[in-house]
Amino acid sequence: MGIIKMGKVAIAVTKLGQIVETGLEQKNLDTLDRRCVIVCQYRSCQANGSAEVLEAFQAAKVAGVEVTSSGCQGMCSSGPTVRIVPEETWYCRVQPSDVPVIVEEHLKGGQPVEAKLNPRIHLPYSF
């Protein structure tokens, strides 16, 4: 992931050239190079329980993983949205009961939880 700085504002760009964050201040730039769980706290996600999802991830305390909240991530119809960077894994409709599974299988075990992957981003395919 690359970071383009413009004064106090920056844009984070993936290796494929996708803009993943805009308007970052300097204090937030360090978290982009480390593993981070980002839980949307915008209106529709909050209406579906994202505050409790954020609390569950914060309580899990996984070594080397930061947990933070965000504004809208653009997936309002499938919230609460959880994004894990730098690998850009997007989970949808995450509930507090899903957090232990995501922590054990993905954050500790390295395997994304297929059942919670956002199908608009992680397209299912078969041959």
What confidence tens digit (pLDDT) does each residue in 2-23 have?
A: 554 444 445 555 544 444 555 5
Q: Would you give the DSSP letter of residue 125? A: -
**Stated pTM of the model:** 0.73
In the prediction, which pLDDT does 123 show?
Answer: 86
**CB distance 116 to 124 below 8 Å:** no
Q: Phi and psi of 98, rounded to 5°?
A: -80, -20
